[in-house]
Amino acid sequence: LHLSSFRMSCPCSLFRVVFLSLFFVFFDSPLLVFNFRGLLSLLRKLKRSDDEARILVLGLDNAGKTTILKKLSKESIDTIMPTQGFNIKSMVSDGFKLNMWDIGGQKSIRPYWRNYFDNTDALVYVVDSADQERFLECQTELAKLVAEDKMAGIPVLIFANKQDLLSSKPAEEVAEELNDTLEGRDFHVQAASAKKDEGLSEGLEWLVQTMNQSKKATK
């Protein structure tokens, strides 16, 4: 009886061990293209040249992040859907290759922002200046971001977006209200209207100049 139950259970548990090992190897391997987590971390770890910068574009949902990136890369803004995951746009400015990561800002996916913090060179934070109701939420999310160790010392560009709307808070007011949150670091609040393509290239220029200066300072 003993022997037969051994024979019955042994191949079964052996099979389970082999199956589970293959399962973990498959789903935990950073090299498999179908493994999303692995692919993401692989993308993050790819070696960059000195003239390449990784920029995170964050902000509450509906702030205008995707519209800004589309305008900066001269794409049409006719068909923009809420971003569920992330978009990457690469552009060249003043000899810098900017890899801009636009990550969805819905409340339910904000906890995943931290998965993108590694090796970030700059933060672009987009504010919907007309969204008075969620301004405090927008400020709180920014405060959480800049308190992160991986964000320490990196320049922050704020786009006070939607300045074309009459109900928008002027950029100076946005700057005043975010001043305490950003105190002690390189930051710039840029008045912008993604819809009208105003203020976007000026903001990017500041960012590239600031990154250039810090690159020279660390050489």
- Residues with a catalytic annotation lie at 106
Does position 65 bind ligand G3D by CB under 6 A?
yes
Nearest partner of 51 among 98, 90, 119, judged by Cα: 98
Q: How far is the CB of 126 from ligand G3D (least distance, A)?
A: 6
Residue carrying the six token digits 């692919």: 39
What are the tokens at 134?
């969620």
Q: Which amino acid is at 36?
A: F
Query: Which of the choices ligand G3D, Mg ion, none does residue 71 contact, using the CB cut-off of 5 to 8 A by kind?
Result: none
In the shown chain, the binding pattern of residues 85 to 124 toward ligand G3D, with x for contact by CB under 6 A and - for none, equals --------------------x-------------------
Query: Which of the choices ligand G3D, Mg ion, none does residue 64 contact, using the CB cut-off of 5 to 8 A by kind?
Result: ligand G3D
Select from 38, 39, 42, 61 the one that contacts ligand G3D (CB under 6 A): 61
The site for ligand G3D, by CB under 6 A, has a size of: 20
Does position 99 bind Mg ion by CB under 5 A?
no
Q: How far is the CB of 216 from ligand G3D (least distance, A)?
A: 33
Does position 75 bind ligand G3D by CB under 6 A?
no
Contact 89, 72 (CB under 8 A): yes
Interface contacts to Mg ion, rule CB under 5 A: 65-66, 83
Interface contacts to ligand G3D, rule CB under 6 A: 59, 61-67, 80, 82-83, 105, 126, 161-162, 164-165, 193-195
